[in-house]
Amino acid sequence: MGYAGLSLEGKVALVTGSARGIGAALASGLAEAGADVAVSDIPSNRAGLNEVKKRIEAQRRRSMAYDLNVLDLEQIRSTMGRVTADLGGLDILVNNAGIRRRSPALEVTEEDWDAVIDTNLKGTFFCSQAAAGVMIPQGGGRIVNVASQLAVVAGENRAAYCSSKGGVVSLTQVLALEWLRHGITVNAIGPGPTETPGLLEADTRDADELQADLAVNMPLGRRMSPEELVGAAVYLASPSAAATTGHLLIVDGGWTAR
C-alpha cells in the first residue's frame, strides 16, 4: 500500500511541453501517482504528444492531448477551459514548456533573447495566471514550474537561458505569496543536466568536451534521466506539500553542492 500523502488520486493535472523529455516523464509520473493528466505541446510535436497520451491511458488514467503554444495567450486561456470541461477540473499545473539557445553573450540576437525569455518566463506566467483563474474558485491547487540549476549558478553561453530560469524562480516566489491565501501552492524544480531531445539539439559540444564539463561540474558523473525528476514533481503536487510553497527543489546530481 502506497503512502497516501503522495497520492494524486482524483486530481487533474496539465503538463505543458509534454510531448517528449522531462515533460513526457512528468506527465507519466503524475499518472502513475494517480492523477488524470492532460498533455500539451506545439502542433509540430503532436505525434509525440499522442504517444504520451497512450502511455497515460495504459496506466488506466484519463488523458487528453491539446495543441498549445505558450506564446499564444488566448490559446492558453482556452486550453485551461477545455481541460476543466473535458476532465472535470484542474488541480495541478506543471509549467514545463521551454527552449534553450546557446551562444556567447556578444553574439546573442534580439530574436534569440525574446524567444527564450518569452517561452520560458512569459509563458510560465500566463499559464499560471490562467490556471489560477480556474483553481481559485475550486478552493486551491498546485503549480509546479520547471526551472533549472542554472537559475542559481552561471553557465557560459547561456545568458538568455539563465536569465529566464532565474526569472522563473523569482516569479515562483511572488506567486506563492500572492496565491497561498487562495489555497494554491507554487513551487519550482531545478533540474541539472538531463538527457532530453531539447538539450541534445542545443548542445554543440563534442563527446570529449561534454565529458570534461561533467567531470568538473557534475559529481554524479553523468547526465540525469527525465525519470529522476518525477519524485520531486509528485511531492510538490501532492497533499504532503501543503505547507511547501515558494520553494526551488534542486535535483542536479550535486552540481550546485560544489
Instruction: Give the residue-averaged pLDDT of 238-253.
Output: 97
Q: Which residues contact 76 (CB under 8 A, 6 or more apart)?
A: 68, 70, 123, 126, 127, 130
- The domain of 213 spans 8-247
Residue 255 domain flag: no
Residue 91 domain flag: yes
Residue 112 domain flag: yes
Q: What is the pTM of this model?
A: 0.94
Least confident piece of the model among 25-29, 134-138, 193-197: 193-197
Per-residue pLDDT, 217? 81
- The catalytic residue positions are 161
Q: Dig out the grid coordinates for 237 from the structure.
A: 503536487
User: Is the model's pLDDT at 239 over the cut of 80?
Assistant: yes
In Å, what is the CA distance from 241 to each residue of 5, 8, 77, 201? Answer: 9, 12, 26, 34
Per-residue pLDDT, 215? 77
Residue 80 domain flag: yes
Domain total for the chain? Answer: 1
In which band, very low, low, confident or very high, does the pLDDT at 210 lie, cut at 50, 70 and 90?
A: confident
pLDDT digit string, tens, across residues 71-123: 999 999 999 999 999 999 999 999 999 999 999 999 999 999 999 999 999 99
Residue 166 domain flag: yes
pLDDT digit string, tens, across residues 18-47: 999 999 999 999 999 999 999 999 999 999
Residue 199 domain flag: yes
Residue 258 domain flag: no
CATH of the domain at 35: 3.40.50.720
Q: Which residues contact 100 (CB under 8 A, 6 or more apart)?
A: 116, 158, 161, 198, 199, 202
Per-residue pLDDT, 199? 64
Residue 253 domain flag: no
